[in-house]
Amino acid sequence: MPGFELFGNQERKELNDVLDNGVLMRYGFDGMRNGHWKAKELEAELQKIFQTKHAQLVSSGTAAVSVALASAGVGAGDEVIMPTFTFVASFEAIMMLGAIPILVEIDDTLTLDPKAVEAAITPKTKAVMVVQMCGSMGDVDGLQEVCSRHNLLLVEDACQAIGGTYKGKPLGSLGDLGCFSFDFVKTVTCGEGGAVITNNKDYYLNADHYSDHGHDHIGSDRGAETHPFLGYNFRISELHAAVGLAQIRRLSEFLSIQKKNYTILRNALAEIPEVTFRTVPTGGEESYAFLNFFLPTKDIARKTMKAFNEAGVDVCWNYYDNNWHYVRKWEHLKDAKSLYPLSPDIKATLTALKTKKFPQSDNYISRNISCLIKMSWTEGEVKERASKMVKAIQSSL
Ligand SMILES: *Cc1c(COP(=O)(O)O)cnc(C)c1O
């Protein structure tokens, strides 16, 4: 991660195909295209790689989550269970539909604890959203079991774990619907973009229509198409899809570079007895986009972060002290700072977060350090980095 590190001729070629005919839109203009349908081609690649019947490209990962939920009928007043540790997109995507985000504890997989999920279920719960954070996955079997027992949708946000697998199946393909992001810092990037994948034909058709103003996409005259239901515009452009197409074809190359760099760092850190690693469920294989490890205490983690900074070890984060990914610092959410009025249900739930405690999540997140795995590092750079990290950790214990 991120895919832009290795931009090259493949990306340039796909992009030039689009610029040569000038059709920047994914729908229509059949005669002008010279046979180039980059979004459609990318959707076909996604179906193949993620072993699912359907893929719908959209304009971002955040849009993918909203479109996925809307396609399965989640909306006003419905509760969606999500983890305390995730990107802000998770609650944004839920609230955009008028649905209510219910935050619950994570476990040492760094995402939803199935026991906490079960305890949070109410008659209003419609869906459980597992966010496969930092290149790995949650207790998929445990979550699926809770969802099927309570007849809930399982939506997988695999934006940070593209290429990871569980029992040989791609992350994103395990739930009822899966979501990906191809934003600028993701393993596969096209600048801005995302995708919803599903084996459910109805959800797919809903996603296809909903992401393009409700258009039914029947026939070849956009003006004559009907609108079976209301939609929005979450379309991807052909320019973005072209870059994404080149990048997705390089996914296995990207994953093997990530794995190589990750393994050098992990083996070095594993020599320190006080360092433990996040739990990857049996049968799971990470995408190796990040290396996550725990230190014995919050103070040692903070000291280590300071030592990393002093030693020039970059792209590592302790999310307890970071504004982006953990509930502790989501003040704008807890204060319900919306530009427009929110429903009383949503407002009450958000305000309650101000006093709500998440001791189990605090325990894991405060002791965790998450390091991005870059693809552009040379082997020498990775080894030098590994020895700097080991020294910094040892000096902080
Ligand atoms: C990046 C990301 C998103 C949102 O993707 P955008 O394309 O930036 O909107 C959603 N969820 C997670 C976990 C992410 O990392």
The tens digit of pLDDT for each residue in 288-319 reads 999 999 999 999 999 999 999 999 999 999 99
Q: How much distance in Å is there from the Cα of 306 to the middle of ligand 1?
A: 27
pLDDT score, position 221:
87
Query: What would the mean pLDDT of 138-165 be, rounded to a whole number?
Result: 98
Q: CATH number of the domain at 3-250, out of 3.40.640.10, 3.30.470.20, 3.30.230.70, 3.40.80.10?
A: 3.40.640.10
Return the SS3 of 308.
helix
Is the pTM of the predicted complex or chain greater than 0.75? yes
Q: How much distance in Å is there from the Cα of 205 to the middle of ligand 1?
A: 23
pLDDT band with cut points at 50, 70 and 90 for residue 353: very high
Return the SS3 of 5.
helix
Residue of minimum CA distance from atom 3 in ligand 1 = 61
Question: What class does CATH assign to 252-396?
Answer: alpha beta
pLDDT band with cut points at 50, 70 and 90 for residue 109: very high
- Which of 183, 184, 236, 317, when mutated, tests ligand 1's pocket best, judged by the most ligand atoms within 8 Å of its CB? 183
Q: How much distance in Å is there from the Cα of 180 to the middle of ligand 1?
A: 8
Q: How much distance in Å is there from the Cα of 266 to the middle of ligand 1?
A: 25
Q: Which of 141-150, 213-222, 354-363 bottoms out in mean pLDDT, i.e. has the lowest?
A: 213-222
pLDDT band with cut points at 50, 70 and 90 for residue 236: very high
The chain-wide mean pLDDT, for the chain, equals 97
Domain positions in the chain are 3-250, 252-396
Query: What would the mean pLDDT of 12-19 be, rounded to a whole number?
Result: 97
How far is the CA of 107 from the CAs of 165, 207, 280, 324, 326, in angstroms? Answer: 19, 32, 11, 19, 14
Residue of minimum CA distance from atom 6 in ligand 1 = 61
Question: Which of ligand 1's atoms lies nearest the C-alpha of 185?
Answer: 1
Protein residues with CB under 6 Å of any ligand 1 atom: 60-62, 86-87, 89, 131, 157, 159-160, 181, 183, 194
pLDDT score, position 1:
77
**Best CA proximity match to 136, nearest among 319, 365, 289, 362:** 289
pLDDT score, position 296:
98
- Which of 65, 84, 137, 160, when mutated, tests ligand 1's pocket best, judged by the most ligand atoms within 8 Å of its CB? 160
Q: Are strands 153-157 and 79-83 parallel, antiparallel or unpaired?
A: unpaired
How far is the CA of 66 from the CAs of 14, 42, 214, 227, 374, in angstroms? Answer: 28, 20, 15, 19, 29
